[in-house]
Amino acid sequence: MTNPSANHLSEDERQCAADGTLDAVSRARVDAHLGECRECAADVARLTALMNRIDDKRLSGSAATLAPVVEGLWPEIRRQIESTKVVALDSDETAARRWRLRVDPWVIGVAASVAAITALTVIQIVPRVVGSVAATGASAVAADSTLRFANDSVESYREEADRLMDDLQLQRAQLSPAAREAIDDDLKTVDLAIAELQAAVAHDPRNPALRAMLASSYRQKVDVLKKIPNAS
């Protein structure tokens, strides 16, 4: 690759010499040339200095300075993630009746979906999961792990829902009768779905898919409860 007309290194050779990507054979030849050619040596030295500076830049990850930036991005990411699962509710609505009109179809839809999915799961997924788990020891370990995570999610959302229910008891007096009625109806629907899934889990306690759906239902209850301050 050496330029025969000028006996200087080619651009490829200079760049690769600077960034250390020459193979052993080429390196020996290039090093020999650099020992004799001041012009090429100076150019490679400049490029090498640049590469060192680039290496410093690459390794100087400023996690601390970027932390506030990325911290501010998470709420929107979470919102988008959640919106893939849950229809977002309008947060600035004040009329209980309007709040109810928007929430009801969603809650009813969730309940219907959960019921349908539960039925399908019991019929189709359960035998596969049980069969898979029984098939190999490794599968059993993986299933145990998945089951544990799903259970953790159930407990996490259930605890949050319980805490929000406690808060609701304190807030009830401040809600209008219409709002209370609407909220009670919505919670009743979600609780019905939760009860159905709890029954399904009791029937098949080692089915991680059922537990994941139960966790999802608790999360939806949490979402409903978090919207209540906006309905008063």
Partner 1 sequence: MRATRRVTTESPGMASRLDGAVALDDVVRRAQSGDVAAFETLYRAHAPAIYLLCHRMTRDEREARELTQDAFVRAWERLPSFRGDSAIGTWLHRLAVNVVLNRFRADRRRELTSLTDDLPAPRTAGSNLGADDRIDLDAAIGQLPNGARTVFVLHDLCGYSHDEIADMTGIAAGTARAQLWRARRALLSILAP
24-50 b/e with 16+ CB inside 10 Å = b? eeeeeebeebbeebeebbebbeebeee
Between 146 and 198, name the residue whose CB sits nearer to partner 1.
146
Between 140 and 149, name the residue whose CB sits nearer to partner 1.
149
Tokens for 86? Answer: 């849950």
Q: Compute the least distance from the CB of residue 58 to partner 1, in Å.
A: 5
Summarize as ranges the residues that interact with partner 1 (CB under 8 A).
1, 11-13, 15-16, 18-23, 26, 46-47, 49-51, 53-55, 57-63, 66-67, 69-70, 72-74, 76-78, 80-82, 84, 145-146, 149-150, 152-153, 156, 208, 212, 215-216
Q: Compute the least distance from the CB of residue 20 to partner 1, in Å.
A: 6
The torsion angles phi and psi of 3, rounded to 5 degrees, stand at -75, 110
Q: Compute the least distance from the CB of residue 54 to partner 1, in Å.
A: 5
Measure the CA–CA gap between 68 and 77, rounded to whole angstroms: 15
Between 23 and 177, name the residue whose CB sits nearer to partner 1.
23
CA distances from 160 to 64, 102, 157, 221 (A): 31, 23, 5, 9
Q: Compute the least distance from the CB of residue 26 to partner 1, in Å.
A: 4
